[in-house]
Amino acid sequence: MKRTTVLIVLMGALLLLPGWGKAQTARFDVVNYGAVGDGKTNNAAAIDRAIAAAAHAGGGTVVVPPGDFMSGPITILSNVTLYLETGSIIRGSTRLQDYLLPPAGGEGENEQGSSAQSVREPAGLITATNAKNITITGRGTIEGSAVSFMKADQVLDLKYAVTDGGDWNPSLVRQGKDFLSTKLGPQDGPFVPIKPRPGRMIRIDNCDNVMITGVTLQNSPNYTVSVTDSRNVDIIGIKINSFASDRRAPNDDGIDLFNSRFVHISDCDIQNGDDSLCLFGSEDVTVTNCTLSSHDSAIRIGYDGGETRNSVFSNLIIRNSTRGINVNVRAGGVIENLLFENIFIQTQLHTGYWWGKGEPIHISAVPQAGTKVPGVIRNLRFSNILAETEGGILIYGTKESIIRDIRFDQVKLKVKAGPMSEFVGGNFDLRGDVPQEFSIFKHDIPGLYGRYVDGLKLSNFEVEWDGKLPEFFSQAIECENFRNMEVDGFVGRQAQTEGKNSAISLSNGSGVSIRDSVAAEGTQTFLAHTGITGGILLLNNDLSRAKVVISPAKAELMQSGNIMPPGKARE
């Protein structure tokens, strides 16, 4: 027998000996530490004992076997894998008192998730703090019991929103006092939460080398997975849902990243009430091969601080969301260098008190209430996007923060009316935490609207209007207060085949180039303009189907190679 063969046989025999390879294969079954899978016993102490034993041994796998293991807060320590076998459930306790850790016993969370060490406020279900090399995996389920902490017979009362200091004013919206009428009923929620309620269901805080894979996370009463100040995090192949509440639990975000780096999220299915995926001040993040569905934003990036940059979102399906991709700054912060590619987006108007009005893509830089200067948004790329939507793309900058260098390539919108269009449509929605004049206000809905934007480039951009639409749907493209706008390969017309609107409407801008574009059948006016300086370039466009090419006809126009309507050189 060859020497190498002998060595292999000897190594195999050694691995069968007790203790050999213990650090790699040690298993700690929670049942052996007192856990009972009867759905009634609080197993927090037993599970914590198993985790402590694994950590004390230098690392190991804590096994949750098939069964229903009710639990209060538990803590994962370094070098520990929490493995949920098929058929196992870690079920969050339905008793709030089980989450009220004493101040000396650990850090709690208030309902917004901020730390609180001096008061008895609720913790979440699973927490890892200052840990390394931790894993949550398996084919089991972690259940948050959210409905127990909701007033499921009540939705958020809209009355407070229209009082002084509320976040919208009925005098500014299209429907006035009938906006979000109670006649619509509570179809979409959100439910009223009990206060206080448990904190974030899984909280990863200042950790390194983290993996969450395979498990199902459902019905969280607060954020589902929260990753803060952490590095090297992989979230792969998990399912998140809030089906028990019919996706009507507020603040049940799917995955939230705060000030974290080197995060990889792939092959996940997230279906919840609030935002599916959020990035706040995080960098070097990749998200791919996921399906997302939310009554709020499927992807939400930025808000009131931090730097979010250098991240890629690809191969995604977004369905039934109020906003598809939402990028915004309010009180400070920088968002830059983001790529979005190969994404299908389906958005719609909802009846409940959720932010957004069906925008497939929302980009805004608006001062937060009580502040003067928002943050910065620049250098975003969107390519190979198909969207079916009851709203339009919104790019809303301000004098205080001009949005810069935004590019769309191979983007097609199919815009249609929905059952809620009459009741909530025809408004821009810039919530949250903005002055009332910016929150929700009447505005016609173009396929794409931009303001205070510098360097907007549209390549192979198509807008299709589906069926009979309310009068508030308007142009395919509307842009004002802009600089350096390029349109290359646009196909489309205005929403109504009869009426005053144009395919493209530009005002108070400079530097306009429109080339290789097509006025679709039914175009009234291809380009309407006012207050444009520096001239308009029209190059190699097929404008033969437009009744009017440009209005007003008097313009500083440079044109070449255009196909004009029969008998018309220029309008």
CA distance 392 to 562: 28
Q: Where are the beta strands (DSSP E) in 391-447?
A: 393-396, 403-416, 427-429, 440-442
Residue 314's nearest CA partner among 214, 412, 385, 395 is 385
The DSSP secondary-structure symbol of 564 reads P
Bridge pairing between strands 108-109 and 115-116:
antiparallel
Two structure tokens written together for 465: 């209007």
For residue 158, count other CB atoms closer than 10 A to its CB: 15
User: What is the structure's pLDDT at 352?
Assistant: 81
Buried b (16+ CB within 10 A) or exposed e, 214-229: bbbbbbbbbbbbbbbb
Element (H, E) at 225: strand 225-228
Two structure tokens written together for 430: 């810039």
Q: What is the pLDDT along the chain (571 residues), one digit of tens a residue?
A: 444 443 444 344 444 444 434 444 699 999 999 999 999 999 999 999 999 999 999 999 999 999 999 999 999 999 999 999 999 999 999 999 999 876 543 333 333 333 333 445 689 999 999 999 999 999 999 999 999 999 877 776 554 444 444 577 889 999 998 887 766 665 687 888 988 999 999 999 999 999 999 999 999 999 999 999 999 999 999 999 999 999 999 999 999 999 999 999 999 999 999 999 999 999 999 999 999 999 999 999 998 778 999 999 999 999 999 999 999 999 889 999 999 999 999 999 988 888 999 999 999 999 887 777 889 999 999 999 999 999 999 999 999 999 999 999 999 999 999 999 988 999 999 998 888 888 999 999 999 999 999 999 999 999 999 989 999 999 999 999 999 999 999 999 999 998 789 999 999 999 999 999 999 999 999 999 999 999 999 999 999 999 999 999 888 899 999 999 986 654 4
The DSSP secondary-structure symbol of 99 reads G
Q: Look at the block and give the residue holding tokens 């440079």.
A: 558
Amino acid at 496: Q
Q: Look at the block and give the residue holding tokens 């975003």.
A: 380
CA distance 155 to 123: 25
Own/partner contacts of 562-565, CB < 8 Å, gap of 24 or more, are 562/538
Is the Cβ–Cβ distance between 225 and 212 less than 8 Å?
A: yes
Bridge pairing between strands 80-84 and 132-138:
parallel
Is the Cβ–Cβ distance between 218 and 249 less than 8 Å?
A: no
In the chain, domain spans: 474-571
Strand partners, 135: 81, 211
User: What is the structure's pLDDT at 550?
Assistant: 95
CA distance 571 to 549: 6
Residue 195's nearest CA partner among 251, 259, 130, 256 is 251
Question: Which residues, 6 or more positions from 82, have their beta carbon under 8 angstroms from its beta carbon?
Answer: 51, 62, 64, 76, 126, 134, 135, 136, 137, 138
Two structure tokens written together for 227: 């990753």
Q: What is the pLDDT of residues 262-294, one digit of tens each?
A: 999 999 999 999 999 999 999 999 999 999 999
Is the Cβ–Cβ distance between 494 and 519 less than 8 Å?
A: no
Q: Look at the block and give the residue holding tokens 């000996």.
A: 17
Element (H, E) at 264: strand 261-266
Two structure tokens written together for 322: 């109020």
User: What is the structure's pLDDT at 252?
Assistant: 96
Terminal CA-CA length for the chain: 93
State the DSSP string of 345-361.
EEE---SSS-S-SS-SE
Secondary structure of residue 439 in the 3-state scheme: helix
Is the Cβ–Cβ distance between 359 and 389 less than 8 Å?
A: yes
Secondary structure of residue 501 in the 3-state scheme: coil
Chain centroid, CA 243 distance in Å:
18
